[in-house]
């Protein structure tokens, strides 16, 4: 990524611009590194399919929570029966793939 950034030849953002960025916008690099580390460690133990299904299910569950509570400035969309059914199907899929 550093080589890619150098290749783009974009100027480094000023402190004033960086100060206007929300705090959570900087978490992408940290979470990306954690993801790569976990993938290297867990894929040999769980298998690729289980790792990916758990990853996608976790992301979908988090997105339902973000919608429900309106986190990060999102429009609130309460959890309703179809979303609960989707959550149940996601968890069911995890169980079936893990077997």
Per-residue pLDDT of 44-79, as tens digits, reads 999 999 999 999 999 999 999 999 999 988 999 999
The mean pLDDT of 27-51, rounded to a whole number, is 93
Phi-psi region of 47 (alpha: psi -120 to 50; beta: other; left: phi over 0): left
Among 28-32, 33-37, 80-84, which is the least confidently predicted range?
28-32
For residue 8, how far is the Cα from the chain centroid?
26
**Binning pLDDT at 50, 70 and 90, where does residue 96 land?**
very high
Percent of the chain with pLDDT over 90: 63
For residue 67, how far is the Cα from the chain centroid?
14
pLDDT tops 90 at residue 22? no
């Amino acid at each position: 990524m550093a080589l890619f950034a150098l290749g783009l030849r974009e100027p480094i953002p000023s402190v004033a611009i960086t100060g206007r960025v929300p705090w959570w916008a900087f978490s992408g690099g940290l979470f990306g590194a954690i993801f790569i580390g976990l993938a290297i460690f867990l894929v040999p133990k769980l298998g690729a399919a289980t790792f990916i299904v758990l990853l996608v299910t976790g992301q979908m569950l988090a997105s339902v929570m973000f919608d429900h509570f309106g986190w990060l400035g999102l429009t609130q969309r309460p959890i309703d029966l179809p979303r609960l059914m989707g959550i149940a199907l996601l968890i069911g899929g995890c169980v079936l793939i893990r077997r």
